[in-house]
Amino acid sequence: MHKKNMGEIATSNRQITLFYSSKSVRAKQTLAYVKAEGLPILEIDILRAKLTGTQIVELADRLHLKVADLINQEHPEYKSHFEHHNFSTNDWVKMIQKNPEIMKQPIALRGDRTILVETPTDIIKI
């Protein structure tokens, strides 16, 4: 099967890559669930691992979203710093890099599949 090179984010069919915020309750619940199920996982805490612009764009592409749609505009950190604006993709990328907690997460990747985890059990879908 021809595998399309998706860029900077290496994925495997044998493990789940989870981009998450260590401050997020949903992310903590998802990680606990994954570990309880014994699923192999690569954890990437977006608050510690600085995402590159390419990675942010790639995550949006994999989710079939615009980078702007990766922003949780309801997050208090977003509301305290920003108004609702129409920024360029580059501006949104920089915003996520400076304030990673405003990025919607957790995002789970496995092989060619990518999902935004709404509830911890969503991880089974991948």
Domain 16-125 CATH assignment equals 3.40.30.10: yes
pLDDT tens digits, one per residue of 47-81: 999 999 999 999 999 999 999 999 998 888 888 87
pLDDT tens per residue, range 5-61 = 557 888 899 999 999 999 999 999 999 999 999 989 999 999 999 999 999 999 999
Residue in the structure block whose two tokens are 């570990």: 35
96/23 Cα distance (integer angstroms): 15
Mean pLDDT, residues 95-101 taken together: 94
pTM higher than 0.85, yes or no? yes
What is the rounded distance in angstroms from the CA atom of residue 82 to the CA atom of residue 42? Answer: 32
Number of helices (H) and strands (E), helices first, in the chain?
4, 4
Report whether pLDDT(3) > 80.
no
User: 43 by DSSP, 3-state: which?
Assistant: strand
pLDDT at 89 over 80: yes
CA distances from 37 to 30, 40, 45, 119 (A): 11, 9, 20, 15
- pLDDT of res. 74: 87
